[in-house]
Amino acid sequence: MKNSIIGLKDLRENMDNYISQIEKGKSFVVVRKSKPVFRLAPLDVWGDEGAWERIIDFAKIKKGGVPLSDVLAKI
């Protein structure tokens, strides 16, 4: 995701506009005196964005999957 650069004054003056863009998924880097200060990005409500990764598909091992008790017994 590419960040757009905006000034702190512009953010203050157009806050509603930036909030609506952030709600649509856009991110911004806010600068003050030409130096990055902070980044505005959409809130990850569940805290797991990008954290899930498929490691194994148990349905390929056995049709319908593998019982959890079998998986835990092997750990």
Total domain count, the chain:
1
Contact 32, 7 (CB under 8 A): yes
30 phi and psi angles, rounded to 5 deg: -100, 130
Decide if 70 is inside a domain: no
Decide if 73 is inside a domain: no
Q: 10-69 pLDDT, tens per residue? A: 999 999 999 999 999 899 999 999 999 999 999 877 777 666 677 777 778 778 888 888
Decide if 72 is inside a domain: no
Decide if 50 is inside a domain: no
Decide if 62 is inside a domain: no
Is pTM beyond 0.75 here? Answer: no
What is each CA distance from 41 to 9, 15, 34, 45, 57, in whole angstroms?
18, 14, 20, 12, 32
Which pLDDT belongs to residue 43? 84
The CATH number linked to 20 is 3.40.1620.10
Provide the residue range defining the domain that includes 7.
1-42
Decide if 10 is inside a domain: yes
